[in-house]
Structure 1
Amino acid sequence: MISELGTMGWLALVVAFGAIVPIIPTGAAVSGAAALAFHDHPLLIVLVIAAGAAGAYVGDLVMYAMCRAGGEQLARRLRWLRDEEHLAAVKERLHKSQIPVLLVSRLLPGGRVPVLLAAAFLGLSWRTFVVANAPACALWSVVYAGIGVAGGSIFPEPWEGVVAAIILVLIIGQIVNLISKRRAARQQAEAEAA
């Protein structure tokens, strides 16, 4: 049991670091851990979900603090701020409905950083962010652990389940990115036509 807790601690650290450095595939880490837990001891999946959610939550808090402290200057230096029009649209959506936007942004690949920037630039209160981000991180962890369990349940060997979970996460991420790009292109075309 002690080794499992240590493993979950490492998972939380990897996810927290990945939330701060957004190039690390944190969803794949949670999915892979859930696939392994499914084969080792299915009740460990609850610990995987808790570790993933805790890591995501801590990482998001650090990232939000960086966005609030550094502002647009830090965002430009780290190249987080690429599309001013997209950021303006996110700010508008966030101003209208804060909690749903924070929830959805955690689930969309590449959606979290623009929303955190917009929230910081709008001056979203810490209290609102802390409260709204907790269920977002929990939901994110449950979704990616579910992907891992699905991958782990299909294949008899743990390593096959981990590979399947990671591939599934990558495919889902690419599909979501493709849909987002098509939607943005369609909106831009409609705006140009109007």
Structure 2
Amino acid sequence: MISELGALAWLFTVVAFGAIVPVVPTGAAVSGAAALAFHDHPLLIVLVIAAGAAGAYAGDLVMYAMCRAGGEQLARRLRWLRDEEHLASVKERLQHSQIPVLLVSRLLPGGRVPVLLAAAFLGLSWRTFVVANLPACALWSAVYAAIGVVGGSIFPEPWQGVIAAVVLVVIVTQVVSMVNKRRAARSEARDAAETA
């Protein structure tokens, strides 16, 4: 039991750190932990989801506070702000429908950081952010845990399930990223054609 609690604490720490420093593959960490839990004790999957969601939530709160306090200058210095045009469209979507945008942002690879930045720069109230981000983090953790359970259930050895879960997360992330890039390129081409 002590080792499981230690592993859950590490998962919380990794996900919280990854939410603040968005280079750590937090989804893969939750998926891998869920794949291991599936083989060790399936009821631990619920605790994996809780630890992943709590870590994501804590990290998002820290990042949101940093963005609210430091503004765009801090976001540029930390290299969180990369695409000003995309940020403008996210700000516009947030102004029209705050809660749905916040809920979906965690599920889209590369969607969380622009939405957090836009929300902070628009001055979205803490209450709205805190309330909307809680189910978003829980849903995100459950989805990545489900990917881990699928990977863990296919293979007989826990390490094979972890590798399968991580590979599946990487593939899904890359496919979504490619689709988003193509959609953005089409949108730019359409805009250029309309202005010509």
Q: Please report the TM-score for the alignment, with normalisation by the length of structure 1.
A: 0.98
Mapped partners of 2:159, 2:17: distance in 1: 24
What is the letter of the counterpart of residue 179 of structure 2? I
Mapping for residues 1-194 of structure 1, pairs under 5 Å: 1-194=1-194
Mapped partners of 2:161, 2:178: distance in 1: 25
The secondary structure found in structure 2 opposite 1:107 is coil
Alignment deviations for residues 79-103 of structure 1 (CA, whole Å, 9 cap, x no partner): 2222211111000001111111111
Shift of 1:34: 0.2
Alignment deviations for residues 123-177 of structure 1 (CA, whole Å, 9 cap, x no partner): 0000000000000000000000000000000000000000000000000000000
What is the letter of the counterpart of residue 133 of structure 1? N
Q: Which moved more, 1:102-111 or 1:88-97?
A: 102-111
What is the letter of the counterpart of residue 24 of structure 1? V
Segments ≥4 residues shifted beyond 2 Å: none
What is the letter of the counterpart of residue 41 of structure 1? H
Mapped partners of 1:138, 1:119: distance in 2: 19
Shift of 1:104: 1.2
The secondary structure found in structure 2 opposite 1:76 is helix
Shift of 1:109: 1.3
RMSD: 0.7
Mapped partners of 1:82, 1:44: distance in 2: 38
The secondary structure found in structure 2 opposite 1:170 is helix
Q: Which moved more, 1:7-16 or 1:53-62?
A: 7-16
- Specify every segment of 5 or more residues in structure 1 that has no aligned partner in the other structure, as ranges: none
Q: Please report the TM-score for the alignment, with normalisation by the length of structure 2.
A: 0.97
What is the letter of the counterpart of residue 145 of structure 2? A
Mapped partners of 1:118, 1:50: distance in 2: 27
Mapped partners of 2:99, 2:2: distance in 1: 36
What is the letter of the counterpart of residue 146 of structure 2? G
Shift of 1:6: 1.8
Shift of 1:45: 0.2
Q: Which moved more, 1:57-66 or 1:94-103?
A: 94-103
Q: Percent of aligned positions with the same letter in both sequences? A: 83
